[in-house]
Structure 1
Amino acid sequence: MQAVVLSAGKGTRLRPLTDDKPKVLVEVDDRPIVEDVFDNLIEIGADELIVVVGYLKEQIIDRYGDSYEDVPITYAHQREQLGLAHAILQVEPFIDDDFMLMLGDNVFRANLADVVNRQQEDRADAAFLVEQVPYDEASRYGVLDTNEYGEIVEVMEKPDDPPSNLVMTGFYTFTPAIFHACHLVQQSDRGEYELPDAIDLLIQSGRTIDAIRMEGWRVDVGYPDDRNRAEQRLQGGPEGTAELATETAQPSEAGTD
C-alpha cells in the first residue's frame, strides 16, 4: 500500500526549533521525527512513500533523495500551506488505490496495523485511529460527535465548543473517494481546507467510516514541550496505554458522486 506523509508545514508553534528547518526534521531522541514516521509506515507494509513538502522542502529532499531504507520516495509539492485537505489533493496524481496517510509530526507507538486491516476487511472509504483527550485539549484537534449507538455522525475541525473529547489522531487510511470530498471542501474560517470537513462529507454522503480506538500512545509534536514529552516516552517514560475499542459509522448507501 502507498503511504502519504504530510510534511509541508512551517511549524510556527515549534519555534525556535523550526527557525532554520522544516517541522518534520526537528529531532526527537536524536533523529528527525519524519524518520520515525517512515519506520512506522514501512513496518505496516508501505511499499512507496509519497511525501508532501513545502516549507524549506529542499532540506527534506536533499536528505532523503529518492528512497528511504530501499522504499522509494515520491515528492508532492504544496506551494501554499492551505490545510490538510489541500495537501491531500497534491498527491492525487500519484495514488493508484487505497493508501495510508500519516502526519509527519506525530510520534506513534500504537496499533496502526489495526486501521489498515479494518479498512481492508470492511472496504470502508476511510479508517483512522481515535483517542480520548482532556476536554480542554479537544479544541486542538478534529473532534468526533457520535450518536447513542456510538456511530460517528459528524466530524469537525478545532471547534470552539467540542461536543466530545473523542478526537482523530494523525493516522488514516483512505480510498480514492477522499479526493472527491477534498475537492468539495470549502475554506474554513481559518482560511484552510480542513481534512475533518472532507471526512464529514464522506459520512454525510453515506460512505462507510471506521474509527478504531488507539491502543498505545502517540505525541503530536506541536510545541517544544511536546518534543520533550515524545523524547521521554521513547526513552522509556510512561506510555499511558489505553484500552482498545472500535467504533464504526455506517450511514446510508448514498455516494458522493
Structure 2
Amino acid sequence: MKAIIPVAGAGTKLRPHTYTQPKALIPLAGKTILSIIVDQLVEAGITEFVFVVGYLGEKIQHYVEQKYPQLICHFVQQTSREGTGHAILLTRSIVQDDEVLIVLGDTIVESNIKEIIAAPHSLLGVKKVDDPRNFGVGEMDEHHIITRVVEKPQIPKSNMALVGLYKIRETVQLFDCLQDNINNKIKSHDEYQLTDALECMIHHGVKMQAYKVTNWFDCGRKETLLETNAILLKKQMPFVIPPFENTIIIPPVSIGEHCNIKNSIIGPNVAVGDNTTVNYSIVKDSIVGSFSNLHEVVLKSSLIGSDANIRGLSQSLNIGDNTEIDLG
C-alpha cells in the first residue's frame, strides 16, 4: 500500500507564515504538521509515500528527504491549483493499481491506521460536526455504508464530515472517475474535488464504509492551529524540559534543541522551535518557530514564524518568517 499526501496548497488562511513556509511544515507540539502525519503512517507500516507538492514544494521535498531517508518517496508537482481531485490524479502513473491511503496534508486525525489498512472495503474517515457545510459530507445507511458524498452542501443531509482520510482499494476506478470528471469539467466550488470522484465510484457500485475517527484536528487557521497545539501538547505530556536560567516553565510546553531561555515565564501551551532565544519575556498559548529571538515581550495566543526578531511589548501577534519588529 502507498500513501498519498497532497501538500500543494498555498495555505492562504495562515498568511503571512505561508508566504515563506509551506503550511505542512508549520511547527506543532514539537513536530511539524507533516511529520505528525508521516510518523503516524510509518508506525502503521507504510514505507512508500507520494507527495503532491506545488507552492514552496522544494522545501517539503528537502524536509522529507532529510528527515525520512529510509522511506521510498515520490514527489509530484501540481503546477496549477485545481483541487484535490486534480492533485490525486497526478499520482496515477506511480500508484497504478495499488491500494492507497490518502491523507490530506493539513489534517491530523487520531485513528487506528493498522485497522484501516486491514479493512476489506474502502473506507472514508468521518467525524460528527455541528455545522457540516464547510466540509465534504458523507451520507450512510444503518450499516455505515456510504450511500452518497457531497462537497460543502448548502443543505446537508448528514452531519458526518469527511476528515481527509481515505483508504481506497479500487484505485483503477478512482483514477477513471477523476479523469472522467476532468474530461467533463465536473467541478464543485470551482475545483476538481476528490469528493466528486468518490461519488462517481459509489454510483458505479464501489462499496465504501464510514470509519469514525477518534479525533480530528483542523490546522488550517491560526486559531484552530493554536487550539490543536494545546491539545497535542497535553496528550504528549510529560516533556523532559532542561532547566533554564531564572525561568519558570508551566506545562505543557515543548522546547526545541539548543534554545537559550533566560529570565522568562514559558507556558502553558507553548511550542518553541530549535535554536530560539527568549529573554525577559512571558509566552503562553503560542507557537514560536526556530531561530527566533524574543526580548522583553509578552505573548499570548500568538503564532511566530522562524527567524523572527521581536523586541518590546505585545499581546497577540501573527508574525511570519524572517520578520524583525521593535515594539519598544
Q: Which runs of 5+ in 1 are unaligned?
A: 239-257
- Counterpart residue type for residue 204 of structure 2: S
1:110 maps onto 2:111 in alignment: yes
After superposition, the C-alpha distances for 1:119-173 in whole angstroms (9 at most, x for unaligned) are xxx2x3x312111011x2x112110123466542210001112111111111111
Matched to 1:80, the amino acid is S
Report the 3-state secondary structure (helix = DSSP H, G, I; strand = E; otherwise coil) of the residue aligned with 1:226.
helix
Tell me the equivalent position of 1:190.
Answer: 189
Q: Distance in 1 between matches of 2:145 and 2:111?
A: 22
Please state whether the residue corresponding to 1:191 is helix, strand or coil: coil
- Which secondary structure state, in structure 2, belongs to the residue aligned with residue 190 of structure 1? coil
Paired residues for 1:99-138 under 5 Å: 99-118=100-119, 122=120, 124=121, 126-134=122-130, 136=131, 138=132
Measure, in 2, the Cα distance between the counterparts of 1:148 and 1:37. Answer: 31
1:143 has 2:176 as partner: no
CA 73–151 in structure 1, closer or farther in 2 if over 3 Å, else same: closer
Which residue of the other structure, out of 165, 170, 173, is the alignment partner of 2:164? 170
Question: How far, CA to CA, are the matches of 2:158 and 2:148 in structure 1?
Answer: 11
**Aligned-residue identity in percent:** 29
Aligned residues: 230
Q: Which residue of 2 aligns with 1:37?
A: 37
Runs of 4+ residues deviating >4 angstroms? 147-150
Q: Does 1:82 align with 2:82?
A: yes
After superposition, the Cα gap between the structure-2 partners of 1:183 and 1:115, relative to the gap in structure 1 and judged at 3 Å, is same
Give the drift of 1:98. 0.6
- Which letter does structure 2 place at the counterpart of 1:233? I
Per-residue Cα deviation, 1:70-104 (whole angstroms, up to 9, x for no partner): 11211011111111110101111101411111111
1:221 aligns with 2:222: no
Residue pair 1:115, 1:129 contacting (<8 A) in 2 also? no
Normalised by the size of structure 2, how large is the TM-score? 0.66
Instruction: Find the aligned partners of 1:92 and 1:222 in 2 and give their Cα distance.
Output: 27
Structure 2 counterpart SS, 1:236: helix
Cα shift at 1:228 = 0.8
Give 1:103's aligned amino acid.
Answer: L
Code of the residue aligned with 2:210 in structure 1: it is A
Instruction: State TM-score, norm by structure 1.
Output: 0.83
- Helix, strand or coil at the partner of 1:18: helix
Please tell me the residue identity of whatever aligns with 1:230.
Answer: T
Query: Who is 1:232 aligned against?
Result: 230
| Structure 2 partner of 1:200 | 199
CA RMSD of aligned residues (A): 1.9
Would the aligned equivalents of 2:103 and 2:165 in 1 still touch at CA under 8 Å? yes
Alpha-carbon distance in 1 for matches of 2:81, 2:194:
13
Q: Compute the displacement of 1:237 (Å).
A: 5.8
Q: Cα gap change, 1:170/1:182 in structure 2, threshold over 3 Å: closer, same or farther?
A: same
Q: Distance in 2 between matches of 1:172 and 1:66?
A: 27
1:246 matched residue in structure 2: none
Range that drifts further, 46-55 or 61-70: 61-70
- Matched residue, 2:63: 63
Alignment gaps of 5+ in structure 2? 237-328
Q: Deviations over 1:152-204 (max 9, x none)?
A: 22100011121111111111111322111111223424221111111111111
Query: Would you say 1:180 and 2:181 are equivalent positions?
Result: no
Q: Distance in 2 between matches of 1:163 and 1:4?
A: 29
Higher RCO (Cα < 8 Å, 6 or more apart): 1
1:66–1:72 CA contact under 8 A, matched in 2: no
Within 2, Cα distance between the matches of 1:91 and 1:146? 29
- Counterpart CA distance in 1 for 2:145 and 2:217 is 26
Residue 26 of structure 1: how far off its partner (Å): 1.2
